[in-house]
Amino acid sequence: MDNLIYLFRRRLSKVTTDFKRYLYYEINWNNRLIIIKGARGVGKTTLILQYIKDYFGGSERAVYLSLDHIWFASHTLLEFVEYFYTHGGTHLFLDEVHRYPHWQQEVKNIYDFYPDMHIVVTASSMLRIEKDVLGDLSRRARQYTLAGLSFREYLELEGVSLPAVSMDEILSKHVPLAMEITSNVKILPYFEEYLKRGYYPFYNEEDDIVGFGERLRQVADTIIETEIPALSDIEFSSVYKIRRLLSVISSETPYVLNVNNLVKSLETTRNTVLKLLSLLDKAAVIRSLYADSSFGALVRPEKILFDNTNYLYAFSVPNIGTVRETFFASQLSKKHKVIIPQSGDFLVDGRFLFEVGGRKKRFSQIKDIPDSFVVADEIEIGYGNKIPLWLFGLMY
């Protein structure tokens, strides 16, 4: 038990607090039970360690535990909590909870039987935590989801500090916003690099795009080979089908779903195709976009994109049109409802219509439609209702 605390202290000493993810400031840390969800590698562990360092320092009132530690193979979490509580502990931060059997029941017991204990839970398996957080625990917990780095956050890590802006500000003030930013920063080279390897905070741990892509493919392999078969009734033989599915999605421009063609290509059933898509979406590998708000495991998506552009580059040499649409959907979907309209590329919040393209993109497909905009890549500054694509990366 002392070794767990020692390892926590050593890890905490290495954490820097110079850069904090956007969610750090959005969490109500006073809630007694907090669950932080997010895809592998987006920075959940660093976020909670930063909070401990900022608010508790060397105090013994807070402890961080990674539940995949071998100590928990022969001891229970409740055993540790009793010791921690009787020695003055008040704040419990639990990481990798998906590695610990029946974690949700023990967390519920801690919540009920230690009424002044605050608990923060994270896991690197989106599928596992989505499956486990049900019933009584979900009613007790305040849940948050941490997305990958926005383009704004990536710029901050690269030494360029910019404030977050809302979609309304972008739509109404994009010209002065872009003029002010680009007068000081050559923005397009940063943007091109972000699209390839800027979504995950570990990008700066790799020397080049090849090493980063390999690491990201390993993340996907863990999801495909381990998590999906273990957490659903999908057979292990379906791993090949999932790989084939991702290959098809990465090669299209962009991928407009044709279920019948996928059924033939994967040699499976319609329900299996839709279930695989739903699982990959929940695991934050792909993003399923629908023609209306009727989402669900057996509802057919209208369009399939990768969750972010880094995945797209890791799996293929992508079509630039797909890259642009993937970036736009990735940045907008965090705070806004994005669906596929009859005309144009994306309808946001049931009102704003967007057509995404290159610098020469025109309004021909959405002309005369109110609240419609062209979002153009490869330009620093727009005009009228033509907005630079990169600006939408400053929304969080």
Cα–Cα distance between 277 and 307 in angstroms, integer?
A: 12
pLDDT reported for residue 131:
73
Rg (CA), the chain: 22
Q: What is the mean pLDDT of residues 12-22?
A: 96
Average pLDDT of every residue of the chain: 92
Of residues 206 and 131, the one with the higher pLDDT is: 206
CATH of domain 2-146: 3.40.50.300
CB atoms within 10 A of CB 304: 22
CA atoms within 13 A on the CB side of 280: 31
Residues 41-66 have pLDDT tens digits of 999 999 999 999 999 998 999 999 99
Q: How far apart are CA 58 and CA 62, in angstroms?
A: 9
pLDDT digits (tens, 9 = 90+) for 133-184: 766 787 889 999 999 999 999 999 999 999 999 999 999 999 999 999 999 9
pLDDT band, very low/low/confident/very high, at 254 (cuts 50, 70, 90): low
In the prediction, which pLDDT does 52 show? 98
Higher pLDDT, 67 or 125: 67
pLDDT tens digits for range 314-350: 988 889 999 999 999 999 999 999 999 999 999 999 9
Pair of tokens at residue 252: 């299209």
Higher pLDDT, 266 or 333: 333
Q: Is the pLDDT of residue 132 over 90?
A: no
pLDDT of 177 reads 98
Return the domain boundaries, the chain: 2-146, 152-394
Run of H or E including 134: none
